[in-house]
Structure 1
């Protein structure tokens, strides 16, 4: 009789472990799928940045340092290894901060602000940013679900054994929430 009870408990634990494993796998795949939506928008933004920098160069030649920081941040974001979502988030926050400095420059150069090419690039970038914001909200929702399951019962019991993966939220960092200061 005791053998049946022990066998029943073991079978129950195996079923619980399989269920938790399946939930970890499902949540991880949903997060990665959500990140894929963000990744597409990021690649579009990467392609747009060189054109934006070239347009600004013609008007703000003595702002070389600002433009170089934008290109460096873009290159750093593009070089993050595929699949390292948490590192990509950090790189994107840095890129976002440097992009804000370009648009702050446009305030100081009325001719640039009125340039049709610059306005077109700015509109395209705004469209990409809006798409990114929608994708970011969806991604953060999937991350919240994944992290909550992995940090609560029964997921927390098996997290280390089943290689649970924690993901960072894709939020604006504190520096990107501050106003950009441009001085001449």
Structure 2
């Protein structure tokens, strides 16, 4: 009479285990997605901060080297490109252009000893160094979150249902031309 109860209990236990597993996995995927979104937001905040410093830096250098018009135009163009990024791939391209533009700007600044001694220039220089460090830290945090999220989505058995629940892999923030930023802009004079 109670023989049917054991298979029913086994089925109920299996359904409960699968349900708990799906619930826990879904919640961890949501947490990872939010962490990646937060990290991307941190990157955009730092890119905006750097973009806000660039006009001040350009104006300061312009006062000493007004004839370097092409360098200033490249920096302005790179700044505008950085401000319009929406994806990590776009940010990677823009980051490469910005690094090249900053290298050119600091190369111009090296030719002007009085500029290098300017207190305003030195403060801007330090602010940019600080911001570059924060961008790198934010980028590492973002890429770490993307790695965790992508791994969680790809592993078995999560790969069977994660995409059906609306979770997609995210792209890493990688600079398109790694050689362009292999050497950070030289900002110490």
Could you tell me the TM-score, scaled by structure 1's length? Answer: 0.79
Q: Find the counterpart in structure 1 of residue 44 from structure 2.
A: 39
Q: Distance in 2 between matches of 1:158 and 1:98?
A: 45
Q: Tell me, yes or no, if structure 1 residue 138 matches structure 2 residue 157.
A: no
Q: Tell me, yes or no, if structure 1 residue 54 matches structure 2 residue 75.
A: no
Q: Find the counterpart in structure 2 of residue 95 from structure 1.
A: 98
Q: Find the counterpart in structure 1 of residue 79 from structure 2.
A: 74
Give, in angstroms, the shift of residue 85 of structure 1: 4.0
Q: Distance in 2 between matches of 1:150 and 1:105?
A: 48
Structural RMSD (CA) = 2.8
Q: Is this contact kept in 1: 2:71–2:104, CA < 8 A? A: yes
Q: Unpaired segments of 5 or more residues in structure 2?
A: none
Q: Find the counterpart in structure 1 of residue 30 from structure 2.
A: 25
Q: Find the counterpart in structure 1 of residue 131 from structure 2.
A: 128
Report which stretch shifted further, 5-14 or 89-98: 5-14
In structure 2, relative to structure 1, the CA distance for the partners of 1:32 and 1:93 (3 Å cut) is farther
Q: Is this contact kept in 2: 1:20–1:158, CA < 8 A? A: no
In structure 2, relative to structure 1, the CA distance for the partners of 1:87 and 1:19 (3 Å cut) is farther
Could you tell me the TM-score, scaled by structure 2's length? Answer: 0.77
Q: Is this contact kept in 1: 2:88–2:173, CA < 8 A? A: no
Give, in angstroms, the shift of residue 49 of structure 1: 0.6
Q: Distance in 1 between matches of 2:131 and 2:184?
A: 21
Q: Unpaired segments of 5 or more residues in structure 1?
A: none
Q: Tell me, yes or no, if structure 1 residue 165 matches structure 2 residue 131.
A: no
- Which has the greater radius of gyration? 2
Q: Distance in 2 between matches of 1:167 and 1:104?
A: 36
Q: Distance in 2 between matches of 1:161 and 1:60?
A: 58
Q: Find the counterpart in structure 1 of residue 119 from structure 2.
A: 116
Q: Tell me the alpha carbon deviations over residues 50-86 of structure 1, each in whole angstroms, 9 at most, x when there is no partner.
A: 01111111222232112111111111221234xx344
In structure 2, relative to structure 1, the CA distance for the partners of 1:155 and 1:96 (3 Å cut) is farther
Q: Tell me the alpha carbon deviations over residues 7-41 of structure 1, each in whole angstroms, 9 at most, x when there is no partner.
A: 76666555444433322211110111122222222
